[in-house]
Structure formats: C-alpha cells, structure tokens
Structure 1
C-alpha cells in the first residue's frame, strides 16, 4: 500500500514571512517629554484662570471652596437683570457684527486691488499698512475723539464701529491680498473671455474660493471688536450704549468688587468667542497661512 502523499507544487516554497507583523516604530521618549510636557504645563497655566472664573460665577457668595458646591446661578441673574448686562450684550453684538461686515467687505476690495493690479507705490503702501500695526490705539484717541465729536458720533455706537473697522483693516487687507493671490488669475480671465465682466468673474469664480480667508478675517475682526475696551470707554459715556467690557468694569467699585457678578459676566462674554472659534477653527490656519505666504 503506497503511503506517498501528493504535495501541491509551490506549497513547500511559500514565503514564511507573510504572517509576520511589521515591528512597531519605537517611541522617542525624549521627544514626547520635550513636546507634551511643555504643552501640558502651558494648557494648565492657561485653563486655571478660566476655571476660577467659572468657580466664582457658580458658587454662592461668601464661599471659599475651590470646588463649587452647591452650584448657584444667582450671579448670572444679578448681572443680567440688575446690572443691565442684556443691554451691554446687545450693544456688543451690534458693534461686532457691523464691524465684521464692514471690515470683510473693505478688506476684499482692498486685497483685490493689491493682488490684481500693479501700480506705482504698491510696495510702499504694503509697508505702510504693516507699520500701522505698531501704532498703539491710545495715541490716536484725542484725534479720533475730536473727529467723532465734530461728526456727532460721541455716545453713539457708530463711533465704535468706525474706529474698530479702521484698526482692523490693515492686517485684514494684507491677509486678503495674499489669499486672492493664491487664486490663479487665468481662471478669472477664462470667465471674462466667456463674457463675464470683471465684477461678475470675481463674484462667480474668485469669491467662492475665498471662504477660508473671509472666515479668518471676519473672525479676527469680530473678536477684536468684541474685546475692545479702550474705544468703548472713551467714545461712549451713556450706560445704555456701553459694551460688555465697559459694563463689566462698573461692577468694580472704589473699595469693593462683586467678584461673583464679574465672573458671571466674564463667562457670558466668553461664550460667543468660544463658539466662534469652535465653528471656524479649521478655516483659521488655512486662511492665515494663505494670506501670509502669498503676495
């Protein structure tokens, strides 16, 4: 009786290392320590003030515990109803939204001119725009106050909108100019060859590709206007025209301060900014990098 076993050809020579797993790359512990430890310390250092702001906002008056318990919302009621925070919040929204719109529209117009047209003094004009970022706003308070007083804009939210828009424009124009330069002009030319005017070509072809830049410019303009304290303090003196930063400053008296109300107002003021960053953060890096490396 034959005991021979038939062997399929090629089975004996099958590679033996197919089932072997690739070795995992070794972690560089030194790199982990150099990267994550400083980032962790910076994160803790950054979040501690926000933690204490929330603690003061939700713990009862007179309590000194680091953990807020029981939680109370009396400070929010005090800020919103007694101090008039609803009016401050409304004024900040009005100024922030109008400044955002004005800054974005003017930045697109100025950025397009700097990106698409070559004219004498263009480089010098870009340098001047950059140099304006080194001028502190406090130096221009007296000239601005005189101008707004002549125009009848003192104690008017229009003065804050104009001032914030003017100070947001230089950097916004530079960023938008770089972002428009990243869009090939040949695409715009093709639309004009098909019969579009320059404006129509811009609106139909270029503007849809500027979404990250528009979001970046608009976000920074809104956040800067939302947090601006100096202009609101100098150009507005009526309580019904106060914005959030000025309104919160009046919770601090000469000899005492309502830290619970101040913290509650700070929490409410931080919510819109956090929401804006949460929604648009993926566009910010793209917009800033495109505006910074092109031009």
Structure 2
C-alpha cells in the first residue's frame, strides 16, 4: 500500500471520527430545540418520532413565562452567577498576582492546597456548609449561594490566573516603574490589558460554574421565588410524569446566555485557556 493511499485512509478515518463526535454533541442539542416547539401529543407519541415539529408551536415558551414564572428564575440565576463570577475574577487576579510575583513562606503549601481542593467532590462540603449557613441565617438566601459559588470556584481560578501572570515578563512592570508608574498604574495600564483573554476566561469559568449548578441550589434554597434556573427546571420532573415541553423550552432558554457568551468571547476564551494552562 502506497504512502498516498495510507494518508488518504488516515484522513478519512479522522474525518469520520470528527463527524461522529460532532453529531454526539450537536444531536442532543438539536433534539432539545425541536422538542421545545412540539405539542404534548407529538412529544409523547414515541411510536412516531419526528425530527421536525409537525405542528410548530410557541406554547411551551409562553407557558414557561406565564405559568412557570421563568422570568424570576432567570433574574435569580443572573444575579447569583454574575456577582459570584465578578468576585471570583477580582480575587483570582489578586491571589494569582501574589502567587506569581512574590516569595513568602508557605507559598508552595498554598498552591498545593488549592490544587488538592480540586480533587474533593463539592457534595462533600454541602452538609458542613448547610450547618454553618443555618447558624448564620444564610439558608434560603442568595447570599448563601453566592458564598458557596465563590468558595468552590475560587481555588481553580487563582491557580489559573497565576499561570497567566507568570507568562508576563516582570521586565514590563520594571520598565513601567522606571517611566514613573506606580505599582497600581503598571497593573492597570500594562499587565491587565495584556491579560484580558485570561481575565475573560476566568470570568466565564466562574459564571458557568454558578449558572449550571443544581445540588447546592436545591439544598440551600427552598422558596420558589428564590430558585435559580436549574432548581426550577428540576421541579418539572415529577414522580409520575414529566413536563417535557416546558422542560425542553427551559433548557433552550438556559442554554442561550452561555451560548451567546461563548460566541461573543470565543476568541478570548480559547486564547486565555491555552495561555493559562496550569503547569505544576
């Protein structure tokens, strides 16, 4: 078999593998979207599956907002996710800079501790935190969720931000100091603009970590008016029946903010996650 034939076969196999994984990712999303536009009868008719709605309807979306109060869920999720992501980003920048630029006793222990926390399942800290939050009056409050999301997402983001800072030569800050810049001026005028892709990546990571979280939201929040989107959608899955139309419509609406965010910031996210690969 010639080299040209081998290369052609290898290329064909790679294309087929890529197509397989592409369909593996896209088909579930496509099915969610088309199901959200189907009637209840068409959704439940498993003997006649359709890959496009026979009777296109917006009823699932209108019911989602009018009967299920989805607007409140959206507001709660945005409030908790955006605020926790912002705080995580700011603290990660401060912590990452300290770990990258300064030498102090216990530095390696701190880094090791942050890395070890990533090996601990988040569910293990739910019960201790529930006891602490209940004594502090933070159960059934967005502040409790905010604290949990910041605590869970911060260690990884600090380590990631440290890697971003280490890629920026110290000589840039030294040159800015020679030109008369203070430490804060060199950070805001020189370092942070260069690190913009990394900052965006950390913010997106913190946002997604809070936006998609279900377990803590289910345990810490009990009042429907305080639910986030994942918690609210979970209630559509009953013991004997599932509101498939509303569930799929809610899934599409929950997917839109993250899809728009990734589409708008794709360049920065890819660049930032590549540049900030953890090296330990």
Q: Shared fold by TM > 0.5?
A: yes
Whether 1:48 aligns to 2:33 is no
Match of 1:218 in 2: 203
Match of 2:169 in 1: 184
Q: Which residue of 2 aligns with 1:173?
A: 158
Structure 1's unaligned 5+ residue stretches are: 1-24
Determine the C-alpha separation between the residues in 1 that align with 2:80 and 2:5: 54
**Separation in 1, partners of 2:5, 2:242:** 55
Q: Does 250-259 or 119-128 show the bigger shift?
A: 119-128
CA distance in structure 1 between the partners assigned to 2:165 and 2:6 by the alignment: 42
Q: What is the TM-score normalised by the length of structure 2?
A: 0.92
Are positions 1:89 and 2:74 aligned together? Answer: yes
- Aligned residues of 2:84 and 2:207 also touching (Cα < 8 A): yes
- Given candidates 9, 12, 15, the residue that maps to 1:36 is 15
| Structure 2: runs of 5+ lacking an equivalent | none
Contact 1:229–1:246, Cα closer than 8 Å, also in 2? yes
In the alignment, is the contact (CA less than 8 A) between 1:103 and 1:172 conserved in 2? yes
In the alignment, what sits opposite 1:116?
Answer: 101
Q: 2:64 matched to 1:79?
A: yes
* Mapped pair 1:60 → 2:39: yes
Separation (CA, whole Å) in 2 of partners of 1:127 and 1:289: 22
Q: Secondary structure at the match of 1:252?
A: coil
Question: How high is the TM-score relative to the length of structure 1?
Answer: 0.88
Q: Is the 8 A contact 2:218 2:231 kept in 1?
A: yes
- 1:70 maps to 55
CA distance, structure 2, for counterparts of residue 292 and residue 47 of structure 1: 27
SS at match of 2:91: helix
**Cα separation, 2, equivalents of 1:175 and 1:130:** 11
Q: How many residues align?
A: 271
The structure whose Rg is larger is 1
Q: Is the 8 A contact 2:160 2:278 kept in 1?
A: no
Quick check: 1:204 aligned with 2:171?
no
Q: What is the match of residue 281 of structure 1?
A: 266
| Structure-1 residue corresponding to 2:149 | 164
* C-alpha distance in 2 between matches for 1:141 and 1:26: 57
Return the alpha-carbon distance in structure 2 between the equivalents of residues 293 and 169 of structure 1.
15
Name segments (4+ residues, structure 1) moved above 3 Å. Answer: none
- C-alpha distance in structure 2 between counterparts of 1:124 and 1:88, whole Å: 40
Partners of 2:97 and 2:153 in 1: CA distance? 17
**Deviation digits for residues 78-135 of structure 1 (CA, Å, limit 9, x no counterpart):** 1111011110011000011001100100000000000100112222221111110111
TM-fit CA distance, 1:293: 5.6
1:138 matched residue in structure 2: 123
Are the aligned partners of 2:159 and 2:278 in contact in 1 as well (CA < 8 Å)?
Answer: no
* 2:114 corresponds to 1:129: yes
Q: What is the match of residue 147 of structure 1?
A: 132
Query: Is structure 2 residue 248 aligned with structure 1 residue 260?
Result: no
Report how far residue 55 of structure 1 moved: 2.1
Give the Cα–Cα distance (whole angstroms) in 2 for the partners of residues 294 and 222 of structure 1: 24
Deviations 1:34-84 (A, max 9, x none): 311111011112222112211220011201441212210101111111011
Does the 8 Å contact 2:88/2:153 carry over to 1? yes
Offset at residue 194 of structure 1 (A): 2.5
